Structure 1
Amino acid sequence: MNDVDPTRCPLCGRPNRCALATPGADTGPDCWCFTTPLDPRALQRLPAELRNRACLCPACAQLLPPESSDLAAPS
């Protein structure tokens, strides 16, 4: 598991929006995770070999349900 992409969430694979992993990104001096409460259960979901290798995305870090674009439109 040496091929961890630091710009992707290790739980869901979506962009993690990590300011530290994306130098030059227009995210400000600090990463979003410096000011957002993280759910400790989110970190517990990570396998040991993936810890401290890439940031979680905001949704996974807060244990929010994944965004879904395939929801059926109301009729």
Structure 2
Amino acid sequence: MPLSAIPSTPSAASLCPLCGQPNQCAMEAQRATGQEQAPCWCTQVTFSQSLLDSIPATGKHLACVCATCATKKEV
């Protein structure tokens, strides 16, 4: 099987710790690819403590919350 046919598995840092969907974090994309990215949307907002508290312990400090989850809760 050619390497290009093997599906790539996203890293845990690229998935939202709340819903498991891609978080589309520009900082993680830059880290993973080495290609400079525009500032991530998450650097321009303040997340509420209730949102941060809802992140499971296994996901804290490992990945960004996606914009969808962030807007479902108070930001």
TM-score (norm 2): 0.64
The separation in 2 between residues aligned to 1:9 and 1:15, in whole angstroms, is 6
What corresponds to 1:71 in structure 2? none
CA contact (8 A) 2:18 2:56 kept: no
Q: Percentage identity across aligned positions?
A: 34
| TM alignment of 1:1-75, pairs within 5 A | 5-23=12-30, 24=35, 27-28=37-38, 30-64=39-73
SS in 2 for 1:22: helix
RMSD between superposed Cα atoms in Å? 2.0
Gap runs ≥5 in structure 1: 65-75
Aligned structure 1 segments of 4 or more residues deviating by more than 4 angstroms? none
Distance 1:6 1:19 in 2: 11
In the alignment, is the contact (CA less than 8 A) between 1:19 and 1:31 conserved in 2?
yes
Q: How many residues align?
A: 59
